[in-house]
Chain A
């Protein structure tokens, strides 16, 4: 019966942590770059500067955090055995890290060689990671909506990586491709097919867990993943059909309504939480869901009112809301719950008595989390205003860089405290044994 079922295969601490610790520093680079280039350029999606910024966030910050989270989540929550997690993380994370930096550098400096190098590194990293995850996810006996969403998300990641690598190679080598349409398809797979799918699948699991909320309604969990996947597929199809403007709008409206439904359901179950304690994770998750509602509202407005849709500033606001407001906030919040817990879990496995263990509240001090959360919220607000007030670029960029650096510092602090307690526990063990 269920020969693959094992309950206890949390990967080594370093496996998710190397992704988590690296992630915020891409946000730091993005914030500094924005402060350097100024706010005038953000209203055009197609400039090298904006593509550098979006990929520092998307392929750097978000992709790192999401891959790290999956490496932790799939074994623990889904009972899926990840093949050689330490080796996979050791190979995939540098590929993604260098790939994201090369990609941003290639866009910013307009260097085809960097784009080609980035395409190879990111594709290798993404295909390797997806293959290992797919193997773990398809072999686990676990079923349910979270599992389905995770499986679909891995497909989404593969498609995103494949399309992204094709586009980067295409630019580097001067291929003749339908760049705007393919870029839109790449973007929708990245944000919808991969990131939102993963966020939903993980939320079904962690939102009730962290706040003791009722579960998401079963019909919604069953509907959301497959519906999102079908809409992303349909969007891809209509992008490639010339003159299908009406269909394109219809699919767009449906996708935005689906995203709004997810945000509303999350806020609704959170409103009925049994745990009254309010912490940084909870507030960041609310910020993410409020941002997602704004994305849906603005996106609908852009589709239905042409003058809004054609204004580059609307698109820029939409992008900032999605990358920073929704995904960076949700990730930031989840890291504050996951990292102290896994630090504790690994220390506990060293066999220390509980009295020798650090208080969970001290692994990342609550004041540091709350302060960073406030700065992140401020930075998000400034960034959302940026397309309309380009003079904010320096302050918004620096605020986001500082908030990301603070998050990075909080995570490094957690690793240092973990190492300190680990060494102390081992020394006490060695002393007892000698």
Chain B
């Protein structure tokens, strides 16, 4: 198993929750939607923080690339956080249109982001970072909310 495998698997886990939240909103099942959305938000935030606190700094330290791909990934995390805020607003107002509009963008942005990570950045990280502690710390962090 490579160091970034848990991150890779966690992407799929977040996809599942995203689909659940979106479906619940489209059916007007607001209580289920609240629950799924809260879970999505927690999981995504944990994912972003694992990368921003552990993976990216280790990569930047090893390669000296501080303004390259990791910086773009951070910017996209910011965009996704804003979209989650917008979805939260839709949920709070019980407005399926607001939620769905933001969800539609989050989906494409998130999938595109994940593919860039999975196809390019994660292999680069696996290649560059030789410290097993980084991988252990990431796996541990991601395991926590999943089992909560």
Chain A residues in the interface with B (C-beta under 8 A): 1-2, 5-8, 76-77, 79, 141-144, 205, 208-210, 212, 274-277, 337, 340-341, 344-345, 348, 354-355, 359-362
CB-based contact B116/A354 at 8 Å: no
| Contact stretch, chosen from B2-10, B77-85, B134-142 | B77-85
Which chain B positions have C-beta within 8 A of A209? 107-108, 111-112, 115
Expressed in whole angstroms, the Cα–Cα distance for A35 and B47 within the complex equals 56
Which A residues touch B83, using CB under 8 A? 354
* Interface flag for B100 (CB, 8 Å): yes
Whether B100 pairs with A212 at a CB distance below 8 angstroms is no
Residues of A within 8 A of B65 (CB): 1
Say yes or no: A354-B86 contact (C-beta < 8 A), given A1-B124, A7-B116.
Answer: yes
User: Besides A1-B63, A5-B68, A210-B111, 16 other CB < 8 A contacts?
Assistant: A1-B65, A5-B120, A7-B73, A8-B72, A205-B115, A209-B115, A210-B108, A212-B19, A274-B15, A275-B18, A275-B19, A341-B109, A354-B85, A359-B97, A360-B101, A360-B105
Complex Cα–Cα for A344 and B69 (A):
22
CB distance from A276 to the nearest CB of B (A): 5
What are some 19 contacts across the A-B interface (CB < 8 A)? A2-B124, A5-B69, A6-B68, A7-B116, A7-B120, A77-B112, A79-B116, A142-B120, A143-B119, A209-B111, A274-B19, A275-B18, A276-B19, A276-B23, A277-B22, A277-B23, A355-B86, A360-B104, A362-B101
Contact between B16 and A274 (Cβ–Cβ < 8 Å)? yes
Binding site for A on B (CB under 8 A): 15-16, 18-19, 22-23, 26, 63, 65, 68-69, 72-73, 75, 79, 82-83, 85-86, 97-98, 100-102, 104-105, 107-109, 111-112, 115-116, 119-120, 124, 128
Residue of A nearest to B116 (CB): A7
Residues in chain B near residue A348, CB distance under 8 A: 79
CA distance A76 to B65 in the complex (A): 20
Determine the chain B residues whose CB is within 8 A of the CB of A144 once the complex forms: 119
Compute how far the CA of A390 lies from the CA of B63 in the bound complex, rounded to whole angstroms.
67
Of the candidates B19, B69, B104, B124, the one having the most CB atoms from chain A within 10 angstroms of its own CB is B104
User: Are the C-beta atoms of B98 and A359 separated by less than 8 Å?
Assistant: yes
Docked complex Cα distance between A1 and B126 (Å): 13
CA distance A79 to B112 in the complex (A): 11
Q: Using Cβ atoms and an 8 Å threshold, which residues of chain B touch A361?
A: 97, 100-101, 104
- 7 cross-chain pairs, A with B, having the tightest CB-CB distances, nearest first: A359-B101, A209-B111, A7-B72, A361-B101, A274-B19, A360-B101, A354-B82
Chain B residue, CB-CB nearest to A354 = B82
